[in-house]
Amino acid sequence: MAHEGRQIVIPTQVLGDTATCKAGRGTFVERGKIYAERLGILNVQGNIINVIALKGRYDPVVNDFVIGIVEEAATSNWMVDINAPYPALLHVHEVPWEIEFGDTEKYLNTGDAILAKVLSVDESKKLQITLNDRNLFKIKGGHIIEVESSIVPRIIGKSGSMIDLIKKYTRCRIFVGQNGRIWIDGDAEGIEKVLQAINKIESEAITFGLTARMEELLKKDAKDVR
Amino acid sequence: MTVVPIIKRDYVLKLAEQGKRLDGRSFDEFRKIEIETGVVNKAEGSARVKIGNTQVLVGIKMGIGEPFPDTPDTGVLSTAAEFIPLASPDFESGPPRENAIELARVVDRGVRESQVVQIDKLCIIPKEKVWLVFIDIHILDYDGNLFDAASLAALAALSTATVPVKRFASDLPEDYAKEDYPLPMTEPPISCTAVKINDYVFFDPSLDEEEIADVRLTVATDNKGDIRAMQKGLSGSFTKEEIQKVIKGALDNGQEIRKQLSASTGK
Amino acid sequence: MKSDLELITREGKRLDGRGPEDLRNIKIEAGVLHRADGSCYLEWGGNKVIVAVYGPREALPRHVQNPLRAIVQARYNMAAFSVEDRKRPGPDRRSVEISKVISAALEKVILTEQFPRATVDVNIEVLDAEAGTRCAGLTAAGVALVDAGIPLRDIPVACAAGKIGGQVVLDLGKEEDNLGDADLPLAISPRTGEVLLLQMDGHLTVDEFNQAFDLAVKGCHIVSEIQKKAIMHKYQTVAAEV
């Protein structure tokens, strides 16, 4: 069949046994059997069995690029919503500006969007993020949307192949946060095309041959390609 | 409470300048409306309405009780709304807060003041026994514009409700009807809601639009083209011209929605 | 007042025509709500329930947080119009109790250690009630949890057995629940057989209890297959459509 899907597994499905395989991500072991722990796609690398989650909250990992929305400005930090089960803390020392005491609101306030990086995650999942990096900034203009964090890898593609394809044909700046938030900046038509492309990826994420079909879709009414 | 990013408002305005909305609709266009009646067996009448992704379920229950002292020969109508935590990550469990209460009262007025339900025909024994009609609004999925979805669901549920004579046979006088009969209704007014963001007026606001709206106006119109109810919400303001615009949009959309309601209830 | 109604004939035929080991009709649909992280709509006989799962998300207020794992907060609620005589909106003592036993049942199968300080909120709404709502609610919750991508040790499932007219039967209907001799709702982890929820009211001999228990377990396994089919149906159609 031309467009086969990948294999979907559900929790408690037996995927293998520890005698011949290793339990990877998204699995748990009980009495020598490897089980899927959540709804996802089976992914076998050598003899390691992984399950890539199809749905579920973003689980922050250190160094992940994330798009956050500032919830509140406190005296020496900000609380930022990064679409994880917990809000993240951004400390005044982790931003590229010199902040006078109590002036946090002047730089970032409720509703501001930022492209940040996950700095630390402790055992009780307390999160810290940072803006201290050339690539990180406060977001101005453009549009932000949210997708399931589990399809972010498909939106980026192998070595960025998918996202580069979309950028090429729509001429938009696009930042994809690992936390499922995406920032798009460009002219209205371009943004519209990006949204269409992302919609397509969302509904066809588990199929093969998506990159090729995406190129077809984008080529269709592209004016000129840079 | 989820915070709305500021750039979302900017983007919505940028699109509005070009005459567009986030989901591609025109300014006075409603999302797809689905009406399904008779969805709850235990209820005397019920309806599930979807406007886009917003989903509201209304159940009508009836009982027998004493009339209000100042209206001794009319039935009693009562409306309640539950913003159950099921419907949104921001809804909390607990007694109805002001939003739920406002919604219930607006829907109630829309039904009561327009005399949609002929409560004067719901008397059993004057001063002693009348029919009680309970309208319970259950929000299932909140994606903007609860007012219109709830009103429409209430009307659809009432239009297909039956008075449960058989179930209450032992409480009714000898000469009362013996069979269940349809709840006596008149032509309902249809409610249409619009929001304003800066100077742009959008009908049937989606959640995104509602979250950044400055002000909201709901107008209920009847089949003769008259206005039967109005409610302004949020802290912004409307100019007189803008209100006229909303009235016109409410009349146009109201007509279409009325046709759809009639088709799905068979009335 | 003892009823003259014959709940089950000598040949084993029940009021609605079912045999002693027959389940009522069950229909399950996963992913039916837009805002919820996971959801499920379920019909079981005359029962209609809808479940929405939100989470894991930060547990608030702070003092309810567990620093080592997520807490599970199930809220079982019956809509005012779901019962014959309108029910006043809001939790009553029965709903609070059912919420508690369902929360405990779900806690055992959710891999809560992965989300310290968080909560998994499970909202169960009964829209139309006809005996066995807590089993219907828990079963739907199992599907909604999978739909939300919550990591699970197992997909919980529930079913009730009972005794009517001196006979042990599966899945009590409305009159059977009201006029029968005993009701035994049971929830299990189908993979391991562990009991997650167990309640009983009425009168059973030890032998009858064992019979009813085994029968309820059998019912659970049948319902478990229906749950899994519903989940696969939702996610496989995506692959097939392309």
β-pairing, A88-91 vs A127-130, is: parallel
Q: Rounded CA gap, C76 and C91, in Å?
A: 8
Distance (Å, whole) CA C137 – CA C44: 10
Which residues 6+ apart lie within 8 Å of A83 measured at CB? A57, A58, A66, A146, A149, A177, A179, A180, A181
CA distance to partner chain A, nearest, from residue C133 (Å): 24
Asked whether residue B3 is assigned to any structural domain, the reply reads: no
Question: Which of A49-63, A205-219, C25-39 has maximum average pLDDT?
Answer: C25-39
A48-53/A22-23 β-pairing = parallel
Chain B residues close to A69, C-beta within 8 Å: 3-5
Identify which has the larger pLDDT, B35 or A149.
B35
CA angle A187, A189, A195 (to 5 degrees): 105
Is the pLDDT reported for residue A121 higher than 90? yes
Subunit contact B2:A112, Cβ cutoff 8 A: no
Asked if C159 contacts C26 with a C-beta cutoff of 8 angstroms, the reply is no
Evaluate whether B58 touches B135 at the Cβ level (below 8 Å).
Answer: yes
Whether C146 contacts chain A with CB within 8 A: yes
- Contact list, C235 vs chain A (CB under 8 Å): 8, 39, 54, 206
Contacts of A204 (CB under 8 A, 6+ apart): A210, A213, C238, C242
CB contact B25 to A (< 8 Å): no
Can you give the pTM of this predicted structure?
0.93
| Domain assignment of residue B133, yes or no | yes
Q: Please give the pLDDT value at position C132.
A: 95
Which residue segment(s) compose the domain that B59 sits in?
10-265
For residue C86, give how far its alpha carbon lies from the nearest alpha carbon of chain B (Å): 6
In-domain check, residue B236? yes
Could you tell me if residue B100 is inside a domain?
Answer: yes
Angle between helices A161-170 and A210-220 (to 10 degrees): 0
Q: How many helices (H) and strands (E) does chain B have?
A: 5, 12
Q: To 5 degrees, how large is the angle CA B76–CA B82–CA B88?
A: 160
Judging contacts by C-beta atoms under 8 Å, the chain A residues touching residue B208 are none
Q: What is the pLDDT along chain C (242 residues), one digit of tens a residue?
A: 445 578 888 888 899 999 999 999 999 999 999 999 999 999 999 999 999 999 899 998 989 999 999 999 999 999 999 999 999 998 999 999 999 999 999 999 999 999 999 999 999 999 999 999 999 999 999 999 999 999 999 999 999 999 999 999 999 999 999 999 999 999 999 999 999 999 999 999 999 999 999 999 999 999 999 999 999 999 876 555 44
β-strand partners of A41? A8, A52
Higher pLDDT, A132 or C6: A132
**Cα C27 to Cα C18: distance, rounded to the nearest angstrom:** 17
Task: Provide the number of structural domains found in chain B.
Answer: 1
Say if the Cβ atoms of B7 and A188 lie within 8 Å: no
The two tokens of residue C224 are: 């478990």
Q: Is A28 on the interface with C (CB under 8 A)?
A: yes
Q: In chain B, what residues touch A70 (CB-CB under 8 Å)?
A: 3
CATH no. for C26-241: 3.30.230.70
- For residues B163-190, give the mean pLDDT: 92
A contacts of B10 (beta carbons < 8 Å): 141
- The DSSP 8-state label assigned to residue A116 in this structure reads E
Q: For residue C53, list its beta bridge partners.
A: C38, C122
- Of B226 and A225, the structure prediction assigns the larger pLDDT to B226
For residue B80, the chain C residues in CB contact (below 8 A) are 80, 89
Establish if C62 touches chain A: CB-CB under 8 angstroms.
Answer: no
Do the Cβ atoms of C170 and C182 come closer than 8 Å? no
Residue C3, pLDDT score: 54
Q: Does C83 touch chain B (CB under 8 A)?
A: yes
| Local confidence band at A202 (pLDDT 50, 70, 90 cut-offs) | confident
Nearest residue on chain A to C144, judged by CA atoms?
A: A39
Lowest mean pLDDT among A16-25, A62-71, A209-218, C52-61: A209-218
Conformational region of residue B194, where left means phi above 0, alpha means psi within -120 to 50, and beta covers everything else? beta
Identify the chains in contact with C, defined as 3+ C-beta pairs within 8 A: A, B
For residue A4, the model assigns a pLDDT of: 47
Domains of chain A: 8-53 (2.40.50.100), 65-138 (2.40.50.140), 143-220 (3.30.1370.10)
Looking at beta carbons, which residues of chain C come within 8 Å of B51? none
C79/B contact by beta carbon, under 8 A? yes
C150, A124: Cβ pair inside 8 Å? no
Q: Would you call B5 and A111 a contact, using CB atoms and an 8 Å cutoff?
A: yes
Q: Choose from B3, B4, B18, B206 for mutation: most chain A CBs within 10 A.
A: B3
Residue with tokens 């829209």: C127
C54: left (phi over 0), alpha (psi -120 to 50) or beta: beta
Contacts of C55 (CB under 8 A, 6+ apart): A57, A85, C37, C70, C115, C118, C119, C120, C121, C148, C150
CB contact C29 to B (< 8 Å):
no
Give the single-character DSSP code of A99: P
For residue B158, the tally of other CB atoms under 10 A from its CB is 24
Strand, coil or helix: B81: strand
**Does residue C154 contact residue C221 with C-beta atoms inside 8 Å?**
no
Tokens of A165: 């394809």
Is B5 part of a structural domain of the chain?
no
Summarised one tens digit per residue, pLDDT across range B36-72 is 999 999 999 999 999 999 999 999 999 999 999 999 9
Where residue B105 sits, what CATH number does that domain have? Answer: 3.30.230.70
**Residue B246 contacts by C-beta under 8 Å, 6 or more apart in sequence?**
B194, B201, B217, B219, B238
pLDDT at position A6, please? Answer: 75
**Nearest residue, CB atoms, A124 vs list C37, C67, C151:** C67
